[in-house]
Structure 1
Amino acid sequence: MLFSTLSFLTSAATLASAAVLPSSSLTKRDNGISVTPHDRYSSSIGVLGCKINTNRVAYWPSSPDCNNICVKVSANGRSVHLLKIDQSGGAHDISYDAWNYLSTGQSAKDDPTQGGGIDATWEDAPMSDCADLLSAGGGKLAFAAANSMNFITSCSADTWVGKNYALYNIVNTQCTWGYNETCTMPDPSQGNQPTCAHQLGTTVALTSQPVWNIDYGTGQLSLAQ
């Protein structure tokens, strides 16, 4: 099934209320699930689509947590690694391109198909298996500085996110507003508002960091909004 794009305000509200489920080690699983295609990028915890491979994202019922961000999904003799950075309304959605690959072995850009759930299994995977999905540099997972602090501050310093997050002065996960500049966290005694070169959260148009969706059934690219 396809889920409509969540507005950024909805994503921010989900971010504020999502339960964080930290764990200290990988929990291997082999649960049978049915994965369905999702063709519009979003992230309930504020991960920037312009700093990751948006064709490899898991939109699942469980809340993203501070350690197990990378998952491996297998079906039809094929596997993909995905970043679990969004929470769905109940389905095990994955990026349309990942779903198409599991279904046919082809990219959705080259040979787009349509359909419903694919029987699959999944397991948590080490972040090293998802390293090639991150493009912010230094192996960091990039977040919107103005709208991700509820999640960031919920992750203790000894979690993977606590050790490997990067903050950017980009307002929305589709990267259409703000400045493509990194921000820093002040000393804890000074609060939890990031410091950036420009005013935090400014809604100036940003055109240098496009996020592209692959449209369901057509394989055409469309600019995420």
Structure 2
Amino acid sequence: MLFSTLSLLTSAAAVSATVLPSSFSSSSTPTKRGSGSISVTPHDRYSSSLGVLGCKINTNRVAYWPETRGCDNFCVRVSANGRSVTLLAIDHSGGAHDISYDAWNYLVTGSSARDSPTAGGGIAATYEDVAMSECADLLTATDGKLAFAAANSMNTVSACLSNAWFAQNYALYNIFNTQCTYGYDELCHLDGNTPVCGHQLGVTPALTSDPVYNIDYPTGALSLAV
């Protein structure tokens, strides 16, 4: 994605914003776990409305769902055709239960979309919300934290700091966008409600050390996320 000067100013202003994304609940109480039957569809372009950095997670295991999430409720297990995948529910859809193309392909065929790509639409599945520990292997940051873009995720972070799980398991980075193509790969800390980083927050030098790759539908080819 290319960022204009206007979009940079808008994103920097979001650091102090207090309005939460519609896919998110700020309740500090443990979230009630849900389960049910759904139809899941493939999604092949990584994004996160909560500001989770794609270079710090397994982007092939993400849920893009319409339901509101809580501060300790980003992990779901989806099952179909006798197979299951565990997913990070960190982006919002307009109504569909989308999941990463690779995860969808595995539920359909038992194989990765890189090895045996297939095409199709919704498949009948069941889901259950599970403890965040079930998604620990999807968090690839060296400290094992759920990593956020410091310039663009303070809505989420500020609302969740009173949640016990979140407060112990989040990290802020001076990476500008969730596809990790701009900024600095450096940890930040909070001074009050303001992220403090080694370099200026919210600037957009090209970042090439942390590429995020999409698996393209329906070919299974890799492409750089932008």
Q: TM-score scaled to structure 1, two decimals?
A: 0.89
In structure 2, distance between residues paired with 1:26 and 1:154: 14
1:213 pairs with 2:214: yes
Deviations 1:119-165 (A, max 9, x none): 01111111111111001133210000000001100113334222211
In structure 1, distance between residues paired with 2:26 and 2:197: 29
1:61 pairs with 2:62: no
SS in 2 for 1:154: helix
Q: Which residue of structure 2 lines up, in the alignment, with residue 199 of structure 1?
A: 200
SS in 2 for 1:194: strand
In structure 1, distance between residues paired with 2:181 and 2:68: 25
Greater shift, 156-165 or 35-44, is seen at 156-165
Q: Are the counterparts in 2 of residues 26 and 125 from structure 1 also a CA contact under 8 Å?
A: no
- 1:131 is aligned, of 136, 142, 147, to 136
In structure 2, distance between residues paired with 1:61 and 1:21: 16
1:96 pairs with 2:101: yes
In structure 2, distance between residues paired with 1:158 and 1:74: 28
In structure 2, distance between residues paired with 1:17 and 1:85: 11
In structure 1, distance between residues paired with 2:33 and 2:149: 30
Greater shift, 19-28 or 125-134, is seen at 19-28
Q: Which residue of structure 2 lines up, in the alignment, with residue 152 of structure 1?
A: 157
1:185 maps to amino acid: L
1:65 deviates by: 2.3
1:74 pairs with 2:79: yes
Deviations 1:90-127 (A, max 9, x none): 10000000000001100000000000101011111111
Where does structure 1 lack aligned partners over 5 or more consecutive residues? none
Say if 1:154 and 1:26 are closer, same or farther in 2 by CA, change over 3 A. closer
Tell which has more relative contact order, 1 or 2 (C-alpha 8 A, sep 6+): 2
SS in 1 for 2:41: strand
SS in 2 for 1:208: coil
Identity percentage of aligned residues: 66
Q: TM-score scaled to structure 2, two decimals?
A: 0.88
1:37 pairs with 2:42: yes
Say if 1:30 and 1:193 are closer, same or farther in 2 by CA, change over 3 A. closer
1:24 deviates by: 3.7
In structure 2, distance between residues paired with 1:163 and 1:157: 10
